Structure 1
């Protein structure tokens, strides 16, 4: 489990194509200082398993499903990436609950600079729009952000100077893909309410003579 508070802006140093998967080597001295084989590190919001570490870098294998569902398939040597280690039990939840399970990809549509901040407009698949609400939380490339405006096919976020300087959203341009993870609580609520809808999962009518029907 992550919080969406990026710890480090890392860099892809090697990409090995394995046919139906890829092995990435990523430089991140901070996130690898206590990382061991089998640990998790979020890369642009995707939870990856550490295969090996050496000299401030780590390697991770990415399967075809992850490459298809996220923007990691577009990574190349030199690409900057957001890195975050899992939240420690008892640690501060600075952003919101982030699983590192990407729901889909969006596209940066527009950047509108302000005096001390910047508004970024992101297009998203319509099947995800029902989970995105004004002033709600969303994860963009692993960054926990608050939604400013929400529409059927896009949303906007307001970025402070720290986010612009220390994450990939400071360099993403219109047309660039971003990984999206909606608030997991919204998905659970939808499932629970769906099960309670008329005719969905309702108990069978009791027949005379049953214990509950007496």
Structure 2
């Protein structure tokens, strides 16, 4: 489990593509804290460290992961948001993030006001119901608060600290980003949906 608070802006050093996926080498100052087999969120996608040395780590990503997340666009030199899995004694400073990407979105708006940067992304239809104003959303592994939203878009405000310490400060219009919606909303929907459907059926009769 993660919190959505990025610990380092690492950099992709190499991507070895194969028929079934890719081996991704990432350089990071967090290397001394990583052990073989550790879970690491890379742009919000939970990967397993398969090799570790003083300069970074290597992780494997399946073809499905490459196809369904922004990791498919990684290349040498790409900056990536990194977060190590939470320990039980750590504060949950952001919100509960699983590292299970729900889908991708496109950056459709970037507007600065001299302080913060207003980021607008498209919302896939299947995810829109989990996004509410002042709710939590994870974009590229960063825990953010939804400032505004509609059926097909959502906006967040990026403070200077977020712009400097994550790759969100480098986004451009048209960039694809990973999304993970609040897991609490998904569980609530799952639990109440049988009763909602039952109520609707009863009303229809």
Query: Structure 1-normalised TM-score?
Result: 0.91
Residue in 1 aligned with 2:45? 46
Change (3 A) 1:198 1:159: closer
**Gapped regions of structure 1 (runs ≥ 5):** 201-214
The residue that corresponds to 1:15 in the other structure is 15
Any idea what the Cα deviations from partners look like across 1:149-182, whole Å, max 9, x if unmatched?
A: 1111110000100000010110010000000000
In the alignment, the residues of structure 2 paired with residue 153 and residue 28 of structure 1 have an alpha-carbon distance, to the nearest angstrom, of: 35
Any idea what SS the aligned residue of 1:127 has?
coil
CA distance in 2 between partners of 1:2 and 1:54 (Å): 23
Q: Is the 8 A contact 2:32 2:54 kept in 1?
A: no
Cα-Cα RMSD: 1.3
In 1, the alpha carbon distance for the partners of 2:27 and 2:150 equals 37
What SS does structure 2 have at the residue aligned with 1:164? helix
Aligned match of 2:145: 146
Q: Distance between the aligned counterparts of 1:126 and 1:153, measured in 2?
A: 7
Instruction: State the alpha-carbon separation in 1 of the partners of residues 109 and 149 from structure 2.
Output: 15
- Determine if contact 2:40/2:85 at 8 Å carries over to the other structure: yes
Partner of 1:211: none
Whole-Å Cα distance in 2 between the matches of residues 76 and 150 of structure 1? 32
- Post-superposition Cα deviations, 1:57-107, rounded to whole Å, max 9, x if no partner, equal 100000012112111000000000000001110210100000000000001
Match of 1:2 in 2: 2
Higher helix share: 2
Q: 2:127 maps to what in 1?
A: 128
Q: How does 1:65-214 map to 2 (within 5 A)?
A: 65-199=64-198
How far has the Cα of 1:195 moved from its partner? Answer: 2.1
Q: Which segments of structure 1 move beyond 6 Å, counting only runs of 4 or more? A: none
Structure-2 change in CA distance of 1:198 and 1:19 (3 Å): closer
Return the offset for 1:54: 1.5
The separation in 2 between residues aligned to 1:12 and 1:108, in whole angstroms, is 22
Q: 1: distance between equivalents of 2:77 and 2:71?
A: 13
SS at match of 2:126: helix
Where 1:197 maps in the other structure, the secondary structure is helix
Q: Once the 2 structures are TM-superposed, how far is the Cα of residue 199 of structure 1 from its aligned partner?
A: 3.5
Secondary structure at the aligned position of 2:187 is classed as helix
